[in-house]
Amino acid sequence: MHTRFLIGLLFISLFSFAQNLKSGGRLKPEQAIMDIRHITIALDVDPEKKTIDGYTETDLVLAEPSGVLLFDLWHEMKVSKIWVNGKAASFTHTPDDLVRIQAAGILPAGKVKVKIAYGGTPGIAVRPPWTGGFQWEKDAKGNPWIAVSCQSEGAKVYFPCKDHPSDEPNEGAEMIITVPKGLVVAAPGLLQKQNTKKNKTTWHYKTNYTISNYCLVFNVGNYKVAKRVYTSVTGKKIPMEYYVLEENLGKAEKLLDLFEQSSRILEKYFGEYPWANERIAASETPHLGMEHQTNIAYGNKYRYEKLGSYDFDWLLHHEYGHEWWANKVTNRDWGHMWIQEGICVFGDAMATRELAGEEAYLQRMQQTALNTQNKFPVVRGDEVDSDSAYHGDIYGKGAFFMHTLRFVIGDEVFFPTVKRLSTEPKYVYDNTVVTADVEQLFSSASGKSLQPLFKLFLYTTDKLEISVRQTGLDKYMIRLLNIDMPLPLEIKTDEGIKKIMVDKKGASVSSKTFVQVDPRVFYLKKLIYE
């Protein structure tokens, strides 16, 4: 139910300053040759004027010589000066949100350092986090409360970058954020130092991990930090922190309890917490939530539900699940976003399985099947921008496909293979993935080609067509019509539920009562009675 609510919000008609902004798509040649290695963002944030001012420093590697460097930045932000390898460079900043930098000469292939001084009034997020930008709010005591989000429009809404999911800074990132004295900044990675001068405090955070551009954001508030130490599935001691508004400090320990609960479930299915050398953290935000790496945004207002006999926070668990699916396992192109969102929603269903049992899990997936719209394929091709890729079925249908896959190949193969996808080096951190990588992994693990299954359910809006024909008084012929591979089917007969293999040739079933095909709903299907 709550996942449906989350998805529903996506389809509300939205408008904002950034309504024409999108990220991803086909890379321009000048950006395709840039490999981003490290990003530093240093900003002075003024809550009263609602402005930011500072610079970014980007370390990159050019694959070939070039005299031009191309960065993305919303055109309303004002660039004042740019240096390339310490030398001032000329530039243009165009209405199509591109900063085109002309170096003093042809830059050879290899390392380049680009510093961009800029500032201005960033756009306001009208319906965050689904429309990106800044929220300049106040807490219950009147203190500034600031949140930044930028997944759909891309990080260019507030800092210059190569705005494409295929390129994360391999050597990490730093955020150096200055705010009025008394306010606390929360940002990705670990706090390196804080320094107060007169009426301002500078907070310096650093991560050594790869990180998506849209996770390079920060929160500001009159925060208190509730802390404990979490022991991971491998025995690693990991700091666990919750940046909570002072007025909600009494609710922090309960939230940390649920954080631990979700950690156990997610580690069981997907392996150790991905950022074990840094921290587990969440920040209270004025919007619902977002998957910001090592510092997820939480704004569910402590609305817990019961799963079995356990208290559970669906929003906390979902955004936390993105630490594995999105932040550790990252789609190379927005067209394959179901890998991030669909498998993460499947991780939500695993919480239902763990806390409420298998039957509750099955009921959840049956409801997910009913909610699937099938208006667009889950995978809409390559070189797709965020606007084109983003629709509700990447969540629900993506999760249901994992449910189908589990049934087709069996638990003994499925669960270890999911964990391989979230732990093996070729799929994680520096390495991004597409749907073909997922298909090949599961096909190899199962010992049979699963390509027809992936093609039908992810690349089309078709349902599995199943023919049911009565051939005698107590005989039925069950056939698959639109897929060229055998599949297991559950058939409910007078003797109960039987599991049989069916293909286009068909399989005969005996029953004194009319058969029910797939009664527990493992497939999105269309039954054709002949």
Is the same domain home to 388 and 290? no
Flag whether 473 is in a domain. yes
CA distances to 361, 362, 372 from 519, rounded to whole Å, are: 15, 11, 18
Q: Which residues of 84-108 are buried (b: 16+ CB within 10 A; e: fewer)?
A: beeeebebebeeebbbebebeeebe
Flag whether 136 is in a domain. no
| 296 vs 182: CA distance, rounded Å | 22
**According to the model, what pLDDT value does residue 16 have?**
41
Phi then psi for residue 140, to 5 deg, are: -60, -20
Half-sphere exposure of 83 (CA within 13 A, CB side): 10
DSSP string, 401-444: HHHHHHHHH-HHHHHHHHHHHTTSGGGSTT--B-HHHHHHHHHH
**The CATH number of the domain where 276 resides is what?**
3.30.2010.30
Structural domains of the chain, count: 4
Flag whether 137 is in a domain. no
202: left (phi over 0), alpha (psi -120 to 50) or beta: beta
Flag whether 363 is in a domain. yes
Is the same domain home to 227 and 257? yes
Half-sphere exposure of 93 (CA within 13 A, CB side): 17
Is the same domain home to 455 and 472? no
Strand order, beta sheet including 525-529: 507-510, 475-480, 464-472, 525-529
pLDDT-flagged residues of the chain (< 70):
1-20
Q: Helices in 152-219 by DSSP H: which ranges?
A: none
Bridge partners for 196 per DSSP: 201
Contact 186, 149 (CB under 8 A): no
Task: Read off the tokens for 156.
Answer: 């260019």
Is the same domain home to 125 and 255? no
Q: For residue range 348-405, what is the model confidence (pLDDT) as tens digits? A: 999 999 999 999 999 999 999 999 999 999 999 888 988 888 899 999 999 999 999 9
Half-sphere exposure of 199 (CA within 13 A, CB side): 3
**The CATH number of the domain where 379 resides is what?**
1.10.390.10
Is the same domain home to 299 and 344? no
Is the same domain home to 444 and 347? yes
Is the same domain home to 24 and 149? yes
| 511 vs 516: CA distance, rounded Å | 10
Is the same domain home to 62 and 207? yes
Flag whether 134 is in a domain. no
Q: For residue range 209-255, what is the model confidence (pLDDT) as tens digits? A: 999 999 999 999 999 999 999 999 999 999 999 999 999 999 999 99
Terminal-to-terminal C-alpha distance of the chain: 36
Which of 190, 212, 234 delimits the end of a domain?
212
The residue type found at 207 is: T
**CB-CB neighbours of 60 under 10 Å:** 21
Is the same domain home to 64 and 150? yes
Task: Read off the tokens for 284.
Answer: 């209270």
Q: CA triplet 270, 276, 278: central angle to 5 degrees?
A: 140
Domain hosting 3: range is: 1-129+142-212
**According to the model, what pLDDT value does residue 20 have?**
66
Instruction: Label each residue of 265-327 as H, E or C.
Output: HHHHHHCCCCCCCCCEEEEECCCCEECCCCCEEECCCCCCEEECCEEECHHHHHHHHCCCECC
Is the same domain home to 473 and 522? yes
Contact 69, 86 (CB under 8 A): no
Is the whole-model pTM more than 0.85?
yes
Contact 350, 314 (CB under 8 A): no
**According to the model, what pLDDT value does residue 7 have?**
41
**The CATH number of the domain where 485 resides is what?**
2.60.40.1910
Flag whether 298 is in a domain. yes
CA distances to 6, 149, 258, 262, 304 from 310, rounded to whole Å, are: 22, 31, 10, 11, 10
Which of 397, 431, 459 delimits the end of a domain?
459
Contact 65, 91 (CB under 8 A): no
The three-class DSSP label of residue 165 is coil
Which residues have CB under 8 Å from 419's CB, separation 6+?
269, 270, 271
Task: Read off the tokens for 373.
Answer: 């719209």
Contact 397, 341 (CB under 8 A): no
The torsion defined by the Cα of 307, 313, 314 and 317, in degrees rounded to 10, comes to -110
Phi then psi for residue 330, to 5 deg, are: -120, 130
Which of 459, 488, 512 delimits the end of a domain?
459
**According to the model, what pLDDT value does residue 510 have?**
97
- Of 220, 248, 218, the residue nearest 143 (C-alpha): 220
Is the same domain home to 102 and 177? yes
Chain-centroid distance of CA 172 in Å reads 18
**According to the model, what pLDDT value does residue 131 have?**
86
**Residue 47 is inside which H or E element, if any?**
none
